Amino acid sequence: DTGVSQDPRHKITKRGQNVTFRCDPISEHNRLYWYRQTLGQGPEFLTYFQNEAQLEKSRLLSDRFSAERPKGSFSTLEIQRTEQGDSAMYLCASSLRASGRAGRETQYFGPGTRLLVL
Partner 1 sequence: AQSVTQLDSQVPVFEEAPVELRCNYSSSVSVYLFWYVQYPNQGLQLLLKYLSGSTLVKGINGFEAEFNKSQTSFHLRKPSVHISDTAEYFCAVTGSSTDKLIFGTGTRLQVFP
CA gyration radius, the chain = 14
Q: By CB under 8 A, which span of 12-20, 68-76, 78-86, 102-110 interacts with partner 1?
A: 102-110
Nearest to 50, CA basis, from 28, 25, 72? 72
Q: Is 98 in the site for partner 1 (CB under 8 A)?
A: no
Interaction between residue 112 and partner 1 (CB under 8 A): yes
Count the Cβ atoms, other than its own, within 10 Å of residue 39. 7
Which member of 14, 27, 40, 59 binds partner 1 (CB under 8 A)?
40
CB 51, CB 109: distance < 8 Å = no
Angle among Cα 57, 48, 112 to the nearest 5 degrees reads 110
| 70 contacts partner 1 (rule: CB under 8 A) | no
Does 75 sit near partner 1 (CB under 8 A)? Answer: no
Could you tell me the smallest distance in angstroms from the CB atom of residue 100 to partner 1?
10
Sign of the torsion angle spanned by Cα atoms 114, 52, 68, 57:
negative
Return the number of the residue (80 or 108) whose C-beta is nearest partner 1. 108
| Closest to partner 1 by CB, 4 or 19 | 4
Under DSSP, the state recorded for 30 is -
Residues that bind partner 1 (CB under 8 A): 4, 31, 33, 35, 40-45, 48, 56, 91, 93, 95, 97, 101-112
